[in-house]
Structure 1
């Protein structure tokens, strides 16, 4: 059975916001009165001291049903006499009659006082009432959706089905969030959480977006193990707060900029740091990308705390966390080539590359998740490159050896005549190598030896390159001919 779409009330509210005439014809006062037994306006007054003179500014009032009110922190007592003496004048200025209920000082800012003025819901204009209606409707709707989700997951009693349900919820919420961001079109992300004094369509869309986000955080908190990690991570994700990523990110960036680290390494490490900053752009960063970049930030932060942030430590960190970007690959291989240039000849280069190959083979990579999912792990990239360099340099050494003139005083050694063709000889040699009958580390040495010491019925001089080509590209007819000889050899073992 197809799961019921439980965001339909969100769609209804968005439709009402876009066409307020639908709801303006209704009396919203009874609904709002059910949300609170009290009705009053809150006037915020901010005091300041300028040139030894006390000044104050009065902000536009908000109703006690406004979404900002739960965040206000009041002091029950401890008034400030030098400011309190101005309250009667402020009351007169605001044309209060007898409906000043009380005032409270702000718990967070001693220079702020809140004046409470009794009012009727009917005294609010239609835009204010509609905004408050949207807020309290969404608040109740979220509570209902959370209860439905909990019941649904409990009844499913299956991890696969639970994952499928949560993935559908993620997708629906993300789509709705993106639609709202597009409609609101804020100058910057912080504007999504700032309401105007006009209580217009945009303010109503903003409160809708905020409550969509609350549902996204609920899903993250309650069903972390069922999340689709390839889905976009919502702005304001609980994980960003839980890991204190933003704080650690700023600390790491600050220390890196003050350090004397190679600019190329800085550029490398800044890539994931800048990527995680796109957390402020809704829909840009997935959970996988966030988790990966967060790991790098936490590792670098540990190095800073341990005072071991060096170029080598950063590169080891990137390698360990499988930072498989082409830029890191280019940086590491360029440095290897520069080191090779200091050596006298190709033989030394080959020996050095074998030593480096051993180091990289033994190097640990502790992260199965890759920075670039479509590229091989950084360890595989580097090892592959080193092996190719060894093959290339071996080929050059072979060519140099083949081009050396044969000393006139030295008589050419004899060669073994084989009934195999060059292709058959090459394939037979390959069998000996792969079965470890010939157990030699460098394949090129074996091929050179066979070419130098064997001849066929058709040629006295076997070209190394020809033997190598046929070593790697074996035709079916060649396999059949060699197979016959191997069977013949096998019969001899039974006599």
Structure 2
């Protein structure tokens, strides 16, 4: 890019050279220097506003336009921050200036306001070319902090009155707290972070205005939608799943749960191009990787625990199922009878039920889920109990019939002998 196409040369020379020399010689600017400087500042600003559109049209190519706009954006922010170090906070957010009060402080404010006007012009006219990872100017941060402070206090108060998980709540509000506490002089808050916080604040208010049930789960859904890829939230989510998985009795149930969560994460709706931090992978991809690794671990663990059998032996029974005329409620009731009467001696009932759900099926249902069989095992249902008793009665009759035939053959053989 040629030097004449860089449109902030005047402001850089004014701030880095002219002002430094003048302030070292004069306690306050004389009226001539002040009037001349103000006239030049406004003239150069207006010239840039007029020429910027035309020069971008001449550039043509998108990559060149991207670079040109973002370069001027970054330089404007840097120049504004140099002026901001000389100004009190109140002057940064007040855009009213005097064009006649010949003081250095007033001249700094005039420079800052004109630079701010140029930056606002770029933001308004060339929003799609801006670098959202550029640092926020001090005046933007001060205004954002004031608004956020009021809204976040209200949000926090309303959330704390609900049954939402308080640990999760502290993680959600941490970015807002960081922004509010940020020092304008050495802040690293970017446009991206401010956009994220504004959208997150909006989503949180909408969440509270909706239904009150399952607020923690609905809050998680919002965080996944917004790609809240903070380290703290990732740790919170994975620790919660680890605790849940550890409490499940069998590896099969652990895998069922992990695979279901993997499906939910893969199918989750995510706001396009949105992220809390660009330095980390998206929340969805982080969770996908973690779940895939955990699933592989559980499969390897299952393989090690069953290593006393050869792969051929295990493969033989992979798809085998005993087909029965029992319904699922009848099977659950029948197993309860056998276990409570002491015919089955296994102490872990869950493992027995998981075994039957995996290797047994019914004519009415191709697959028997562990949860369904467990539910029917503990359920007291008079109608089901009666049908099981009828089945047992038929078995007794069938058993007597079988014994009569056997006795007949024994008697016949003894008579022949």
TM-score range, shorter chain: 0.5 to 0.7
Which stretch shifts more, 11-20 or 259-268? 11-20
* Match 1:295 to one of 180, 199, 209: 199
| Residue equivalent to 1:460 | none
CA–CA distance in 2 between the matches of 1:374 and 1:414?
Answer: 44
The verdict on how the C-alpha distance between 1:307 and 1:203 changes in structure 2, with shifts beyond 3 A counting, is farther
Matched-pair contact (CA < 8 Å) for 1:220–1:227 = yes
Is 1:216 aligned to residue 145 of structure 2?
Answer: no
Is 1:146 aligned to residue 76 of structure 2?
Answer: no
| Residue equivalent to 2:14 | 13
Query: SS at the partner of 1:250?
Result: helix
The verdict on how the C-alpha distance between 1:23 and 1:414 changes in structure 2, with shifts beyond 3 A counting, is closer
Matched-pair contact (CA < 8 Å) for 1:245–1:294 = no
Q: CA deviation at 1:163?
A: 2.8
CA–CA distance in 1 between the matches of 2:23 and 2:200?
Answer: 52
CA–CA distance in 1 between the matches of 2:283 and 2:236?
Answer: 12
| Residue equivalent to 2:361 | none
CA–CA distance in 2 between the matches of 1:372 and 1:267?
Answer: 18
| Residue equivalent to 2:171 | 268
Q: CA deviation at 1:217?
A: 1.0
* Match 2:130 to one of 220, 227, 231: 227
Q: For 1:233-276, what per-residue CA distance to the aligned partner results, in whole angstroms no more than 9, with x for missing partners?
A: 33445x998xx996466324422234333332122211332455
The verdict on how the C-alpha distance between 1:200 and 1:308 changes in structure 2, with shifts beyond 3 A counting, is farther
The verdict on how the C-alpha distance between 1:402 and 1:285 changes in structure 2, with shifts beyond 3 A counting, is same
- Count of paired positions: 305
Matched-pair contact (CA < 8 Å) for 2:225–2:270 = yes
The verdict on how the C-alpha distance between 1:168 and 1:380 changes in structure 2, with shifts beyond 3 A counting, is closer
Query: SS at the partner of 2:306?
Result: helix
CA–CA distance in 2 between the matches of 1:414 and 1:230?
Answer: 54
CA–CA distance in 2 between the matches of 1:301 and 1:307?
Answer: 12
CA–CA distance in 1 between the matches of 2:217 and 2:234?
Answer: 15
TM-score (norm 1): 0.52
Query: SS at the partner of 1:19?
Result: helix
Matched-pair contact (CA < 8 Å) for 1:131–1:203 = no
Q: CA deviation at 1:414?
A: 12
* Match 2:287 to one of 366, 369, 382: 382
Pairing of 1:241-390 with structure 2 (within 5 A): 247=147, 250-260=150-160, 261-277=164-180, 281=184, 284-306=188-210, 310-390=215-295
The verdict on how the C-alpha distance between 1:302 and 1:127 changes in structure 2, with shifts beyond 3 A counting, is farther
Q: CA deviation at 1:129?
A: 6.0
Higher percent of residues as helix: 2
Which ranges of structure 2 fall in alignment gaps of 5 or more residues?
320-417
CA–CA distance in 2 between the matches of 1:19 and 1:274?
Answer: 41
Question: Over aligned residue pairs, what C-alpha RMSD do you find?
Answer: 4.0
| Residue equivalent to 1:75 | none
Matched-pair contact (CA < 8 Å) for 1:324–1:378 = yes
Pairing of 1:132-171 with structure 2 (within 5 A): 133-171=36-74
TM-score (norm 2): 0.60
Task: Give the number of the structure with larger relative contact order, counting CA–CA contacts within 8 Å between residues 6 or more apart.
Answer: 2
The verdict on how the C-alpha distance between 1:199 and 1:308 changes in structure 2, with shifts beyond 3 A counting, is farther
Matched-pair contact (CA < 8 Å) for 1:248–1:301 = no
Matched-pair contact (CA < 8 Å) for 2:81–2:137 = no
CA–CA distance in 2 between the matches of 1:296 and 1:357?
Answer: 25
Matched-pair contact (CA < 8 Å) for 1:245–1:297 = no
The verdict on how the C-alpha distance between 1:159 and 1:373 changes in structure 2, with shifts beyond 3 A counting, is closer
CA–CA distance in 1 between the matches of 2:171 and 2:25?
Answer: 55
Which ranges of structure 1 fall in alignment gaps of 5 or more residues?
25-124, 405-412, 417-438, 441-495
